[in-house]
Amino acid sequence: MAQDYFLLVFLSAVGVIQIAAVHARLEGLWFFRHAKVQYAFGILAILGAFGWFFTGSNRNLQPNVEGAQQLGLFLAAIVTAYVATAILSSIIQARVGTKPEHPAEGKQEDLGMETLKTTTVLGGILSSLRRERKDRV
Residue 92 lies inside a defined structural domain of this protein: yes
Do residues 120 and 95 make contact, with C-beta atoms less than 8 angstroms apart? Answer: no
Residue 91 lies inside a defined structural domain of this protein: yes
Task: Tell me which residue range forms the domain holding 61.
Answer: 2-102
Residue 73 lies inside a defined structural domain of this protein: yes
Q: Please say if the pLDDT value at position 101 is more than 50.
A: no
Question: Mean pLDDT, to the nearest integer, of 53-81?
Answer: 81
Question: What are the C-alpha distances in Å from 56 to residues 29, 35, 43, 48, 62?
Answer: 31, 31, 20, 12, 15
Residue 108 lies inside a defined structural domain of this protein: no
Residue 25 lies inside a defined structural domain of this protein: yes
Residue 136 lies inside a defined structural domain of this protein: no
The total of structural domains in the chain comes to 1
Residues near 15 by beta carbon (within 8 Å), at least 6 away in sequence? 41, 42, 43, 44, 45, 46, 49
61 CA to centre of own chain: 32
Q: If pLDDT is split at 50, 70 and 90, which confidence band does 135 have?
A: low
Whether this prediction's pTM lies above 0.85 is answered by no
Residue 14 lies inside a defined structural domain of this protein: yes
